[in-house]
Amino acid sequence: MTVLHTFAANIRRFRKQSGLSQEAFAERCGLHRTYISAVEREKRNISLTNVEKIARTLGVPAFWLFIDPVDPDLQSIPAPLELPPEYYGAKADE
């Protein structure tokens, strides 16, 4: 399953659970109904600004929209990666 498919399916699922039509949902998000329709059909990529609008309207954290609800490996939030200090701009010998 692609990220785009998971994202689209989650928007549709959360929107329907909220009892909102695409039109009512789009209005609350400040977006156009045809835009929401295209995103739900995986026909449109989306900006992070619009991801935030959609998540806020649905009342869920934005990252929930990217988690496959049926993938057993993603049922819990993974631990953060342990990255080397150089990643954060520190020198390795500090």
Domain 3-67 CATH (choose: 1.10.3720.10, 3.40.50.300, 1.10.260.40, 1.10.10.10): 1.10.260.40
| 18-70 pLDDT tens trace | 999 999 999 999 999 999 999 999 999 999 999 999 999 998 889 999 998 76
pTM beyond 0.85, yes or no: no
**Orientation of helix 22-29 relative to helix 33-40, angle to 10°:** 110
The torsion defined by the Cα of 45, 47, 51 and 57, in degrees rounded to 10, comes to -100
- Of residues 51, 21, 34, the one with CA closest to residue 12: 21
Integer Cα distance of 23 and 63 in angstroms: 23
Domain assignments of the chain as residue spans, ordered by start: 3-67
